[in-house]
Structure 1
């Protein structure tokens, strides 16, 4: 589904503007008070920047960073092995990842509260391993969604949340949204993993994909024993079984460029010669099926990007987040 920018989100932005006027009239007397008499900050109350680890229980620490002021809070969920800093970087002309004020994290922090974090086993640019406490691997979306909930609670990050999931972060965001519908205000999937990839490939073709993933895991564990590892089959099974995402504004962004040579370098030696092309057709179809899961979702397919849309076309991701925040009443 390829909805135009003037579709559902435009109507929701209008509704959000009306709600915003109402909210401003209610709040004009200053801070509201809850029934217990405790002061409840308004969305304009200054919120301090944070960047540190938090105790999430069980002897574990997880790293979180937040900046900006406003509501809903945007929660950026990185892809596999990627840490919080992936949202603060852009791809420069040489193809390197560099910190930038035009990256997603600082740009979103200019109009609402935004947070990103390190899952266990992730690594930052420059091969700096995360301070988040290691856990057994491979990981699963259900476990990572539970960790995200524990972290947001420990850090007292106020909801509701607009969840932004890139790559493997997409399944984590979706499982969190399905299990915490009252805390979810919107969803943005940035080339998120789609369970429909499996059905778009034959069993033999999917087996090649699983073997490629296992090779990826082996290369990473050779560098870091505690590195994050994925099991795509388990991930897809959990997505099929997960509660549906609530009826909130959704934008799906899909990569539209593909480097078959770089992909081929990751494949098992006996993979069919045309496998990169077979995979790319399945990937595009799986993104279409993913977007159709969400009623009224906007599917942006012209991204001028590969898999790392948030680094290659950060303004596109920022605009999508801004639209969802506005539609959610921010």
Structure 2
């Protein structure tokens, strides 16, 4: 089971756009803005990746929608500061809100969250529903998936990979990976109790292969995505055929079309 891959991916380098540094709770984060019309599209990459994950989608989205497009480096990635201690989605949601506020982003945004960033989107939309016009959740970590039994399986599967990381030299990357893996069990059992506000439309895009190489976990992942969509009439499920978990790289056409539709709906 590719458990840690659910939380951890290879880190990327900073995006080519000029960074705008914002501050929140004593640390600084890099945001990158491509100007355009509202609603702004906010792209949030999966675990271990920074804003450069979206480098090919940003110009395509800007051209297709004419919208403002925003990416950012979360704490410990890209040009943003490290923050000691376990990584928390709630703190990341606070960072995102601070960034949008300090950048003066007007109106409600379209959130696009890949993988781990689904947790940030869920906390953000619960804390700031008035700031979100809609969301596209790309093979995202959704609360429905993290049952007690599945969370215990992931924690157990992660231990050998965490031990291997701890044995490596302490680098910015290994520290960030360990921060994301820390307290996984209690954090995700609490996340399982979260829900998405029914008033905020969402499109869930699920990969054909899922993040898992074990059939039972892959089935649960797909079922969780379907259950999420079934909970409200303003949600839609899309299967990205011939795609790994990295749907934005393997099937950018699917992601761009979903964002374009959500942007038109939120205008």
TM over 0.5: yes
Equivalent residues of 2:22, 2:30 under 8 A apart: no
Shift of 1:140: 1.3
Q: Is the 8 A contact 1:141 1:235 kept in 2?
A: no
Alignment match, 1:31? none
Cα distance in 2 between the residues matched to 1:189 and 1:139 = 20
Q: Secondary structure at the match of 1:315?
A: helix
Q: 1:307 pairs with 229, 241, 245, which one?
A: 245
The answer to whether 1:254 aligns with 2:203 is no
Alignment of 1:1-330 (within 5 A): 51-88=18-55, 103-110=56-63, 111=65, 112-122=67-77, 130-199=78-147, 201=149, 205-211=153-159, 214=162, 218=166, 222-224=170-172, 226-228=175-177, 229-230=179-180, 231-242=183-194, 244-245=196-197, 247-257=199-209, 276-329=214-267
Higher mean C-alpha deviation, range 181-190 or range 287-296: 287-296
Give the direction of change, closer, same or farther, for the CA distance of 1:200–1:252 in structure 2 (3 Å limit).
farther
Q: Distance in 2 between matches of 1:233 and 1:170?
A: 17
Aligned equivalents of 2:160, 2:261: Cα separation in 1: 36
> Would the aligned equivalents of 2:43 and 2:69 in 1 still touch at CA under 8 Å?
yes
Q: Distance in 2 between matches of 1:115 and 1:210?
A: 32
Q: How many angstroms does 1:178 deviate by?
A: 1.2
- Structure having the larger proportion of residues in helix: 2
Measure the CA separation in 1 of the matches of 2:167 and 2:255.
30
Other-structure match for 1:268: none
The question of whether the paired residues in 2 share the 8 Å contact of 1:248 and 1:328 is answered with no
Q: Higher mean Cα deviation, 240-249 or 54-63? A: 240-249
Checking the alignment, whether the CA contact within 8 Å between 2:41 and 2:68 is kept in structure 1 is: yes
SS in 1 for 2:86: coil
Match of 1:37 in 2: none
CA contact under 8 A between 1:210 and 1:232: conserved in structure 2? no
Aligned residue pairs total 246
Partners of 1:304 and 1:115 in 2: how far apart?
28
> 1:52 and 1:203, CA in 2 relative to 1: closer, same or farther beyond 3 A?
closer
Structure 1 residue 215, shift from structure 2 partner: 5.2
The alpha-carbon distance between structure 1 residues 297 and 218, as it changes in their structure 2 partners (threshold 3 A), is: farther
Rg larger in structure: 1
CA contact 1:140–1:234 (8 Å) conserved in 2: no
Structure 2 distance, partners of 1:256, 1:219, is: 34
Unaligned runs of 5+ in 1: 1-48, 89-102, 123-129, 264-275
